[in-house]
Amino acid sequence: MVEYNLTLPAMGESIAEATIIRWLKEEGDSIKKEELLVEIATDKVDSEITSPVNGFLKKKLFYPNEVAKVGSSIAILETEETNFSVEEKSTLYTEKNKKRFYSPLVRTIAHREGINFYELEAIDGTGLKGRVTKKDILKHIKKNKIIPSKYNGNTTVLPCFYKHEKEEILEMDRIRRITSDHMINSKNISAHVTSFVEADVTNIVRWRDKMKDSFQKKTGEKLTLMSVFVECVVKAIKDLPMINISVNGTHIIKKRNIHIGLAIALPNGNLIVPVIKNADSYSLRGLIKIINDLIKRAKLNQLKPEETQGGTYTISNIGSFGNLFGTPIIHQPQVAIMAIGLIQKKLSIIETPEGDFFGVRHKIYLSHSYDHRVIDGALGGGFAKKVALYLEKFNYYTKI
């Protein structure tokens, strides 16, 4: 039997780590190739890792709620297979490969900090016969800018607080903690400014009312207004491409592709942002289909990690909560985000060549938050107005 070092695979260029959620096998259990072995979660989506070999699960190196870095070993498998690719051979090792003894404490620190067997072998040891000491491995971790978890004596302990008998103390779940970090990080990075614009979407509402039943009967798809909002945002980005940028230090990076993120509230109250890649390449019918698919799979926790990455601009539908307008927080590293408010019927003054008159119209507020480091009011507010104008110009006779 040989040992196979199961590593956490790469899941996209912006994902550096994942949390172990649940092992589907116990130590000593037999496993088959391609059989589900462990459930993991990133700050984007949850997914599973399958076994690459037939054999046994010898040792778990991470446990539920522990965080592993991409490329780090998360388990040791045993297998009788020998026909491996070059890449797979790099994860194999046996006891005879070891150059020296490692204490249980050193092995535990290595496992928890994502240091694999080969990296451990490369650490200079100052102990007896060149053994790696606790001091050696912590020095290696510090040098490589890896933050030790709880072995350096600097762990911060929060003070206790009084628990009232009528209060309930709840622990934040993983997604809530990640969202909290991201929101604070965004506020610290970007100078947020929000502009508000009202738009008349009467033509869009009446068009949907006219088309929705026949469209769903013909295609099986729900006719969502979000598809029109995305189309109008894309048109505005083409007119004002400096909204579709990111910032790196003192450099502005203009994006050639338009990737629209949609902030979606999940049944458990958490938030996820799947991305419509190359949104400008879709027809209105295509946008309807992909938006429905993303929303459906997001709520079923079936999105792939890469489907939540790479967005260049984000839209949030706060109207679904009954909200009129808001001040959305920018989804880093983007520089702007738009919140779509609740559609309301309003008594409005309608201007025509024949004169002004009163009428009932469907109105909506657009809330546009942007990064004032690189976007001034003329562009940030002008973009919101541009989207509103495209919404108001929507053709009631549009065919899909």
- Assign residue 34 the CATH number of its domain: 2.40.50.100
Whether residues 204 and 80 fall in one domain: no
Say what percent of the chain tops pLDDT 70. Answer: 87
Q: How confident is the model at residue 163 (pLDDT cuts 50, 70, 90)?
A: low
Whether residues 333 and 206 fall in one domain: yes
Q: What per-residue confidence (pLDDT) applies to 376?
A: 96
Strands 251-254, 245-248: pairing is antiparallel
Per the domain annotation, does 9 fall within a domain?
A: yes
- Domain end position, chosen among 125, 143, 161: 143
- Specify the CATH number for the domain of residue 367: 3.30.559.10
Q: What per-residue confidence (pLDDT) applies to 288?
A: 96
Per the domain annotation, does 397 fall within a domain?
A: no
Strands 36-41, 336-340: pairing is unpaired
- Domain end position, chosen among 119, 143, 167: 143
Whether residues 241 and 97 fall in one domain: no
Whether residues 69 and 211 fall in one domain: no
Q: What per-residue confidence (pLDDT) applies to 76?
A: 92
Per the domain annotation, does 169 fall within a domain?
A: no
Q: How confident is the model at residue 155 (pLDDT cuts 50, 70, 90)?
A: very low
Instruction: Give the amino acid at 351.
Output: E
Looking at per-residue confidence, does 352 or 326 come out higher? 326
Cβ within 8 Å of residue 126, ≥6 positions away: 133, 135, 136
Whether residues 189 and 106 fall in one domain: no
Give Cα separations from 395 to 219, 235, 391 (angstroms): 21, 15, 9
Whether residues 25 and 116 fall in one domain: yes
Give the separation between CA 62 and CA 74, rounded to whole angstroms: 6
Per the domain annotation, does 78 fall within a domain?
A: yes
Whether residues 214 and 348 fall in one domain: yes
Tokens of 188: 């610290």
Rg (CA), the chain: 27
Average of per-residue pLDDT values in the chain: 86
Q: Where are the beta strands (DSSP E) in 109-230?
A: 192-200
Does residue 391 contact residue 228 with C-beta atoms inside 8 Å?
yes
At CB < 8 A and 24+ separation, what contacts does 23-27 make?
23/60, 23/63, 23/64, 24/48, 25/57, 26/57, 27/57, 27/58, 27/59, 27/60
Residues 363-385 pLDDT 10s: 999 999 999 999 999 999 999 99
Per the domain annotation, does 159 fall within a domain?
A: no
Whether residues 380 and 302 fall in one domain: yes
| N-to-C CA span, the chain | 61
For the question of whether the overall pTM of this predicted structure is more than 0.75, the answer is: no
Per the domain annotation, does 213 fall within a domain?
A: yes
Q: How confident is the model at residue 172 (pLDDT cuts 50, 70, 90)?
A: confident
Cβ within 8 Å of residue 332, ≥6 positions away: 182, 185, 186, 189, 190
Burial grade of 24 (CB within 10 A; 0-12, 13-18, 19 or more): middle
Is residue 147 over pLDDT 70? no
Q: How confident is the model at residue 86 (pLDDT cuts 50, 70, 90)?
A: very low
Looking at per-residue confidence, does 165 or 198 come out higher? 198
Residues 16-47 pLDDT 10s: 788 898 899 999 899 998 888 998 888 767 78
Whether residues 122 and 233 fall in one domain: no
Does residue 190 contact residue 332 with C-beta atoms inside 8 Å?
yes
Number of domains composing the chain = 2
Residue 348 structural domain: 175-392
Give Cα separations from 346 to 224, 364, 390, 396 (angstroms): 22, 10, 20, 19
Using DSSP's 3-state secondary structure scheme, residue 214 falls into helix
Give the range among 123-137, 236-250, 339-353 with minimum mean pLDDT: 123-137
Instruction: Give the amino acid at 93.
Output: Y
Q: How confident is the model at residue 269 (pLDDT cuts 50, 70, 90)?
A: confident
Angle at 195 between CA 183 and CA 325, to 5 degrees: 70
Give Cα separations from 289 to 197, 331, 372 (angstroms): 28, 24, 35
Does residue 348 contact residue 359 with C-beta atoms inside 8 Å?
yes
Per the domain annotation, does 166 fall within a domain?
A: no
- Domain end position, chosen among 143, 165, 184: 143
Whether residues 227 and 108 fall in one domain: no
Per the domain annotation, does 269 fall within a domain?
A: yes
